[in-house]
């Protein structure tokens, strides 16, 4: 007589396996009934009760056993509970009330969703995608029950475009640990204010500096809620603005003024001008040299672009202020309207540029986060549930402990 038992594979307490059947479609159905040696536990008050109102059967999906998809046919008891003053279902350790999968199956689904999309997990396990998403979201809600604003000192704030039509998410990063602290819809004053309102006055006092781009609504929110924190402007965004507002403008203007001979050097030079010299290819280097020799205004704008780096490399505030004002004076004396306008803009935001000397933080770390967020969105073909999307972002960037 065979002594093989499936009990080690289904170690569920308070129930007994009373039947099993394997179907042609690959399903293994196991029947479980209440173990009469144990008193039923009320799911409402978690107390034992002996009064049974009725029973019914429910189907629950469990972990696969080999090549077979395991389904549990559980005889569920409905109890009359005096403490709850009504009828309640019997509680079981291995499955939640009204759940369609066991706890261990739900955990397995959540682990798969860390590396695969919901659609891929659903197809792999033969489940409905809504059930997979619910299991993953419930696991994430337990892992990230709220916004943890403790022990924050340096922050990086940036926005990411998630849909066409200027729809953005604002991302707040703990600069020291790399943890995504909070994500909110939009990029307005009210958006960032909603995050700061979650912090206690003591927590807001602990914030020393915030790295952002030169976006006025964010500046206004930080000044309003964190009056003692330093605002630090990121070099990456300043250079991006310089490319857009100065280099492009000067290049287009030079092209319109140039003759046919010089236009061949200017045409197609946009991305060559954007690159740092060390990143140029062997074919691009001679073309850049010829371009700078042909047009004085483009040459001036290109040289001053490289001079901006020295400002963010300054070791103290006095040196940063001196370099910034020297740069702005040279930009105005160049006689190029776009440069003069950009210099005026830098003087307006001087405080955030000089602050980089004391707090050398930037949002480039957050740019990497934003790129990965876009990958998460593309892998799942977008997220219709913004709360679930935020949880997936927090899962991807839990941060690391500072040493």
pLDDT digits (tens, 9 = 90+) for 320-376: 999 999 999 999 999 999 999 999 999 999 999 999 999 998 877 777 787 888 888
Q: What average pLDDT does range 45-58 have in this prediction?
A: 93
- Please check whether residue 400 lies inside any domain of the structure: no
Which of 86, 118, 143 corresponds to the end of one domain?
Answer: 143
CATH label of the domain that carries residue 366: 3.30.420.10
- Please check whether residue 227 lies inside any domain of the structure: yes
Question: Are 83 and 42 within 8 A, CB to CB?
Answer: yes
Considering only 103-107, 212-216, 280-284, 349-353, which range has the smallest mean pLDDT? Answer: 280-284
Cα angle value 252/253/254 (rounded, 5°): 90
Token pair 């919901």 is found at 118
Q: What average pLDDT does range 256-266 have in this prediction?
A: 82
The reply to whether 352 and 368 lie within a common domain is: no
Q: Give the burial string for 108-137 (b: 16+ CB within 10 Å, else e).
A: bbbebbeebbbebbbeebebeeebbbbbbb
- Please check whether residue 398 lies inside any domain of the structure: no
- Residue 90 is predicted with a pLDDT of 92
Percentage with pLDDT > 70 across the chain: 96
- Does the structure show a pLDDT above 70 at 100? yes
Q: pLDDT category, 225, cuts 50, 70, 90? A: very high
Q: What is the mean pLDDT of the chain?
A: 89
- Please check whether residue 394 lies inside any domain of the structure: no
Identify the residue with better confidence: 284 or 141: 141
- Residue 382 is predicted with a pLDDT of 59
The reply to whether 319 and 348 lie within a common domain is: yes
Which residues, at least 6 apart from 65, have a Cβ–Cβ distance to it below 8 Å?
Answer: 6, 9, 28
The reply to whether 10 and 25 lie within a common domain is: yes
The reply to whether 51 and 85 lie within a common domain is: yes
- Residue 403 is predicted with a pLDDT of 45
Residue 264, token pair as written in the block: 């061949």
- Please check whether residue 197 lies inside any domain of the structure: yes
- Please check whether residue 220 lies inside any domain of the structure: yes
Q: What average pLDDT does range 22-51 have in this prediction?
A: 91
The reply to whether 265 and 219 lie within a common domain is: no
The reply to whether 368 and 227 lie within a common domain is: yes
Instruction: State the residue range of the domain holding 337.
Output: 235-357
The reply to whether 241 and 223 lie within a common domain is: no
pTM, whole model, 2 decimals?
Answer: 0.81
- Residue 166 is predicted with a pLDDT of 66
Q: pLDDT category, 153, cuts 50, 70, 90? A: very high
CA distances from 26 to 8, 61, 196, 325, 359 (A): 21, 13, 53, 75, 61
- Residue 54 is predicted with a pLDDT of 94
How far, in Å, CA of 205 to CA of 199, rounded? 10
Q: What is the pLDDT of residues 296-318, one digit of tens each?
A: 888 999 999 988 888 998 989 99
The reply to whether 76 and 178 lie within a common domain is: no
- Does the structure show a pLDDT above 80 at 174? yes
Q: What average pLDDT does range 18-39 have in this prediction?
A: 90
- Does the structure show a pLDDT above 70 at 165? no
Question: C-alpha 352: how far from its chain's center?
Answer: 25
Q: pLDDT category, 401, cuts 50, 70, 90? A: low
The reply to whether 217 and 241 lie within a common domain is: no
Q: pLDDT category, 110, cuts 50, 70, 90? A: very high
Q: What is the pLDDT of residues 68-99, one digit of tens each?
A: 899 999 999 999 998 988 999 999 999 999 89
- Please check whether residue 149 lies inside any domain of the structure: no
CA distances from 56 to 73, 75, 151, 160, 336 (A): 10, 6, 51, 50, 82
Q: pLDDT category, 66, cuts 50, 70, 90? A: confident
- Please check whether residue 187 lies inside any domain of the structure: yes
The domain total for the chain is: 4
List the end-to-end C-alpha distance of the chain, in Å, as a whole number. Answer: 61
The reply to whether 223 and 368 lie within a common domain is: yes
The reply to whether 370 and 342 lie within a common domain is: no
- Residue 280 is predicted with a pLDDT of 82
The reply to whether 179 and 268 lie within a common domain is: no
Q: pLDDT category, 1, cuts 50, 70, 90? A: very low
- Residue 377 is predicted with a pLDDT of 78
Q: What average pLDDT does range 253-272 have in this prediction?
A: 83
């Amino acid at each position: 007589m065979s002594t093989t038992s499936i009990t080690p594979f289904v170690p569920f307490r308070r129930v007994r396996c009373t039947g099993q059947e394997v179907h042609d479609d690959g399903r293994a159905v196991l029947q479980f009934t209440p173990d009469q040696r144990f008193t039923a536990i009320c799911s409402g008050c978690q107390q034992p009760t002996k009064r049974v109102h009725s029973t019914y059967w429910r189907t629950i999906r469990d972990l696969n056993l080999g090549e077979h998809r395991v389904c549990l046919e559980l005889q569920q008891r409905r109890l009359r509970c005096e403490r709850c003053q009504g009828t309640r279902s019997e509680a079981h350790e291995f499955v939640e009330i009204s759940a369609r999968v066991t706890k261990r199956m739900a955990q397995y689904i959540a682990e798969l969703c860390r590396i695969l999309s919901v659609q891929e997990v659903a197809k792999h396990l033969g489940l409905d995608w809504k059930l997979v998403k619910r299991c993953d979201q419930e696991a994430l809600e337990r892992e990230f029950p709220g916004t943890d604003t403790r022990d924050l000192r340096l922050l990086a704030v940036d926005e990411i475009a998630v849909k066409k039509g200027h729809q953005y998410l604002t991302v707040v990063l703990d600069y020291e640990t790399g943890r995504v602290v909070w994500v909110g819809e939009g990029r307005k004053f009210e958006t960032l204010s909603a995050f700061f309102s979650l912090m206690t006055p003591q927590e807001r006092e602990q914030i020393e500096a915030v790295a952002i781009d030169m976006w006025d609504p964010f500046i206004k929110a930080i000044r309003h809620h964190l009056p003692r924190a330093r605002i630090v402007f990121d070099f990456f965004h300043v250079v991006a603005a310089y490319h857009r507002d100065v280099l492009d403008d000067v290049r287009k203007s030079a092209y319109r003024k140039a003759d046919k001979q010089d236009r061949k050097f200017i045409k197609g030079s946009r991305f060559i001008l954007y690159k740092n010299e060390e990143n140029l290819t062997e074919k691009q280097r001679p073309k850049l040299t010829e371009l700078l020799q042909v047009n004085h205004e483009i040459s001036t704008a290109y040289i001053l672009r490289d001079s901006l780096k020295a400002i963010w490399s300054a070791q103290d505030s006095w040196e940063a202020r001196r370099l910034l004002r020297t740069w702005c004076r040279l930009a105005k004396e160049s006689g190029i309207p776009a440069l003069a306008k950009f210099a005026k803009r830098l003087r307006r935001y001087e405080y955030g540029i000089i602050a980089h000397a004391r707090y050398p933080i930037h949002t480039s770390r957050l740019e990497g986060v934003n790129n990965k967020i876009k990958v998460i969105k593309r892998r799942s073909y977008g997220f219709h549930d913004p709360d679930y999307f935020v949880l997936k972002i927090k899962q991807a960037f839990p941060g690391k402990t500072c040493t």
